[in-house]
Amino acid sequence: MFSYKFPAVKGVQAGREYYVSMVPLKVLPKLFITDSESVSPEFRAQRRLNEQRIPEISNYILNNRSDYVFSALSASIDGKFEFQPYESDGDIGVLEIDMNTTFLINDGQHRKAAIEEALKEDETLGSETISVVFFEDKGLERSQQMFTDLNKHAVKTSNSISTLYDSRDELSIITKKTIEEIPLFRLYTDKEKDNLGKYSSKLFTINNIKKANKRIIKHNSINEDDGKFITNYWTILIDNITEWQEFLHKDISKIDLKQNYILCLNVTILAFGQLGSFFYENPDADMNKTLKKLRKADWSRSNLECWGGRVLGDFGKVLSNETAVCLICNKIKQFIGITLSPQEEAKEQKLLKK
């Protein structure tokens, strides 16, 4: 028979043999088919392909040509195949698969589709390889169960730890550098979690600080000067927040700061980021002089005259939507004498009518 031949290693899981092989990228489009979009879910063994994900993954390959990495694909073999060990009863050999066989991807369809797109842009990728784990096809029900088992126990990494480990994204790099250079952030920023528990020893998350920095520098092309501005802005801001300074000098406790003030709420940090964009876009503004006015601000949750309807809703519920970010920033701007834009004024008028 005409066949594909792949060097492979044989293994056993749950009493079933499987095979791991290195497959050239240029071979993937010939091996694997994608379930038809017209087939209803109960007759497919995969989720519907999300076309919007493909360019992002493909660009990741092309933009990191010498430094990309992919985990293995998992696939079922529906057809004739034979494993021929190099030595009698050995686990290393050649997996020979009939060319008329159908291959079904159980895990990795978006990686496969992105590789196909990348190959169109750069044919030299074709000689590189990706590991594929081959299983014997046991029918649709088994393939659907494999898809479920492979995905339901997967845990998405937090945005915070993704930022921590990201050495390509400029905003992530700048955020990490800023945190290390500012004592309040360095000592009290959680670098793994996106959300802090009530009894957390930290006050901020690296993910939320990064989001705030994205509000300061709204464009994607970030340079060293932008990084210096971000660090300088947070340094001046923190120096002029009385409660943060009292906390650093141990005049108020962490519990007091978290429970009685709005300063460490995610939505407030984002509002500070929004405020930072004003100074970034208006370099002639005297940031030092203007932010000194914050020393007299009352950040307590009991100050409903300032924060009611902005940070705190009915029954003291913390508001965390985009409107809340804008309204908090508006109040801070009003306090330090910055004129609101027409859009910001419109939100103020809407709040007053409630």
Calculate the alpha carbon distances from 334 to 105, 254, 267, 294, 330 in Å. Answer: 57, 28, 18, 11, 6
pLDDT for the residue numbered 66: 86
Distant-in-sequence, close-in-space partners of 251: CB < 8 Å, separation ≥ 6: none
pLDDT for the residue numbered 155: 67
How high is the mean pLDDT in each 10-residue block of the chain (354 residues)? 88 92 92 57 57 90 90 88 90 92 84 93 93 83 67 76 89 96 96 89 96 93 93 98 96 94 96 97 95 96 92 87 94 95 88 71
pLDDT for the residue numbered 40: 44
pLDDT for the residue numbered 42: 45
SS3 call for 7: strand
pLDDT for the residue numbered 140: 58
pLDDT for the residue numbered 2: 81
pLDDT for the residue numbered 51: 84
Please state, in angstroms and rounded to a whole number, the distance separating the CA atoms of residues 90 and 84.
9
